[in-house]
Amino acid sequence: MTITHLNCGTMHPLGGTRMVCHVLLVETEGGLVLVDTGFGRRDLADPVGRLGRPLTSIIRPELAYEETALSQVEALGYDPTDVTDIVMTHLDSDHTGGIDDFPTARLHVSARELANADSEPGPSAAVRNRPWRRSKHPDDVQTYTASADDWFGFPAAALSGLGDDFAYVALPGHTEGHMGVAVRDGDGWLLHCGDAFYHQNAAQGGRVPASMAFSQFVTARRPRDARRTRRRLADLCSASAANVQLICAHDAVQFDESVRRQDA
């Protein structure tokens, strides 16, 4: 398998540093798999209508066409229909916008995340899940409940049709149904942790910039669970660094490092 790291949305949040939407494009024997999608064409066409003025004013996304997953898939010489599967860490607006650009793909999402994104009341859910709620859902949606299947000590589930090279790993806290997506990478694993942490030092140790720590805290729907998940990921990083690489969705420095390793 070939894993390509994509930035599908640069953001310049108020009071913070540059952030990205770190997406994986995985080439398998059966087709292409996207892990998250970042922003999509409909977000670019109507950012206020899709994302809402308060959110766009806070995260200040660039919304460049060349950063969409669709544009980058095509630039690599593929057709959008070559994307057979999209696996979501969760359904927040900065992760879901590109789903609409791949209408033939099968969508994988946790059952709890889907239920909350569709119907959870209150203004927070209305903002976070606004693009999802305003989009036509894919025809083929596979839902999952993390089971006792063990992935380095984490509850996990097998992803339908994707074989043993993927695992769907429960990482609750940022949202109740938040998941990580593990992809076999050579002799080890690459775990996309979504928004389980916002800066690599949260897992690797070291200082987390104040703006990232604040964003990480205020966006967690279940802060206690989020802290517990970060501690478990830090333990995993310490114990299994030779076998597991952790990445997150928004750390621009970590994304740039991933691209350099990819291109080396």
Pair 50, 59: CB distance under 8 Å: no
Give me the CATH number covering residue 191. 3.60.15.10
Altogether, the residues listed in the chain come to a count of 264
Q: Which residues of the chain have pLDDT under 50?
A: none
Q: Give the domain range for residue 45.
A: 2-263
Q: How far apart are CA 100 and CA 104, in angstroms?
A: 9
How many domains, in total, are found in the chain? 1
Pair 20, 7: CB distance under 8 Å: yes
Q: Residue 103 has what pLDDT?
A: 95
Q: Can you give the pTM of this predicted structure?
A: 0.96
Q: Residue 2 has what pLDDT?
A: 94
2-41 pLDDT, tens digit per residue, is 999 999 999 999 888 899 999 999 999 999 999 999 999 9
